[in-house]
Amino acid sequence: MTEYPLLNAVIFASLGIAVFALAAAILLKTTPLKLWRELVEERNVAVAIFAGAVAIGICMIVAAAMH
C-alpha cells in the first residue's frame, strides 16, 4: 500500500469495519426474526450467542482475507 505503516493500519482497519458492517447488515436482513427485539425485549440468550458467534466468524474471515 503506502510506505507509512500507521496509514496502512488505518486503511485496513476501516476497510475491515466496513466489510463487517455490510456483512452484519446482510445477516440482519436474512434472518427470519427481528434480532434486536429478540435480544433486548425477549432476552433470548440463544439468539445472543448466535449473533456473537456470527460476528466473530465474520471478523475472522475479514482478518484472514486482509492478512
pTM over 0.85: no
Q: Please, which pLDDT band fits residue 43 given cuts at 50, 70 and 90? A: very high
Task: Name the residue among 46, 52, 20, 16 with its Cα closest to residue 33.
Answer: 46
Does the pLDDT at position 49 exceed 90? yes
Of 26-30, 41-45, 61-65, which gets the smallest average pLDDT? 61-65
Region 11-29 average pLDDT: 87
Does the pLDDT at position 25 exceed 70? yes
For the record, the C-alpha cell of 7 comes out as: 496509514
Does the pLDDT at position 1 exceed 80? no
Q: What is the DSSP letter of 41?
A: T
